[in-house]
Amino acid sequence: MKKENTQLYSTKFKRGKVSRCNICKKRKHLSWDHVPPKGGIYLSAVEQETVFSHMTVTKINRKYSISQNGVKYRTICKECNEKIGSKFDPVLNGFARGIGNILKSNLILPSIIYYKTKPNLLIRAILAHLLAAKADIDKVTTDEQIRNFIFDENASIPDEINIFYWVHPYTNTVIIRDIAMLAIRGKFGGGVGFFNIFKYFPIAYLVCNLKEYEGLNELTLYRNSKPQDIIDVPINLKNIRGPEWPECVGNENMIMGGQSIQSSVSAIPKNKKKI
């Protein structure tokens, strides 16, 4: 069997050391943003490829890039990176660690549990890292909306942005920006929605313009909560989808994407069995 190709970390996920920041859009020295961030999961070496390659290239011909400490993008300035790390990441990381510990325990649990978190800050963390996860700055409406409110704690989270979540008990990490998929899976006459996907153990997030999607719990039900508000958020432990859901293409789904698909990543810990 032909040996799989590997190479050093791809330039697709970074820009020059001095360039425009994906968040503040000012020209500055750029820093690396880990997506997901440090503290939520153990950042081991990963083998990664673009999502487009993952979907279209046969396993034997794939070219994997190696990143020694998780998926990361050099696209935001140090100041914005530090704001994310101090304001939002403690909540995102605490949520991931807490749910992860529950999934790894031997406890007999009900189908639905409740976990205390600060949804306002959790939402901002997810959106901030998605902003960073793009090699090029463009004029996508969702990105502009996020930039306008992300660091203003008094600003409302736009009604057009909806975030859904579900348990993701897999080792793969997937970050997908700016794609269109069927609004109702299997119904090609039901229109399309616009999606961003952020998946890693133990929770996956789906950011889109739809009011509902496939019966998933919605995090943005708490969009009007205050940053300091602590709320019991439901976690459906039985609503588990496959490791490549919902982006998998087949009889029930299709994907359309633009330039950002080249910044979209599918990664797995090095030496793990490829999906």
Domain segments of the chain as ranges: 5-269
271: left (phi over 0), alpha (psi -120 to 50) or beta: left
Phi, psi for 205 (deg, rounded to 5): -125, 140
Query: Could you tell me if 239 and 215 are in contact, meaning their C-beta atoms sit under 8 angstroms apart?
Result: yes
Higher pLDDT, 251 or 209: 209
What's the pLDDT at 112?
A: 97
Buried b (16+ CB within 10 A) or exposed e, 49-70: bbbebbbeeeeeebebbebeeb
Instruction: From 109, 187, 178, 102, select the one nearest 141 (Cα to Cα).
Output: 178
Asked if the model's pLDDT at residue 135 lies above 50, the reply is yes
Please tell me the chain's helix, strand, coil percentages from 3-state DSSP, rounded to the nearest 5: 25, 35, 40
Write the pLDDT tens digit of every residue in 147-169.
999 999 999 999 999 999 999 99
Q: What is the pTM of this model?
A: 0.92
The owner of tokens 């704001």 is 83
What's the pLDDT at 5?
A: 44
> Which of 37-41, 60-64, 151-155 is predicted most confidently?
151-155
Asked if the model's pLDDT at residue 31 lies above 70, the reply is yes
Q: Which one-letter DSSP state was computed for residue 155?
A: S
CA pair distance 70, 42, nearest whole angstrom: 8
Extended beta strands in 79-187, E state? 112-117, 162-167, 173-182
Asked if the model's pLDDT at residue 62 lies above 80, the reply is no
Q: Which one-letter DSSP state was computed for residue 212?
A: -
Length reported for the chain: 275
CA pair distance 24, 31, nearest whole angstrom: 13
Instruction: From 140, 129, 148, select the one nearest 197 (Cα to Cα).
Output: 129
Asked if the model's pLDDT at residue 271 lies above 90, the reply is no
Spatial strand order of the sheet with 18-20 comes to 18-20, 27-34, 72-77
Q: Name every residue whose Cβ is closer than 8 Å to that of residue 192 and which is 6 or more positions away in sequence.
A: 180, 181, 182, 183, 256
If pLDDT is split at 50, 70 and 90, which confidence band does 6 have?
Answer: very low
- The rounded mean pLDDT for the chain is 90
Query: Could you tell me if 131 and 23 are in contact, meaning their C-beta atoms sit under 8 angstroms apart?
Result: yes
Asked if the model's pLDDT at residue 68 lies above 90, the reply is no
For the record, the structure tokens of 250 come out as 């087949």
For the record, the structure tokens of 111 come out as 């189908």
Asked if the model's pLDDT at residue 16 lies above 90, the reply is no
What's the pLDDT at 272?
A: 67
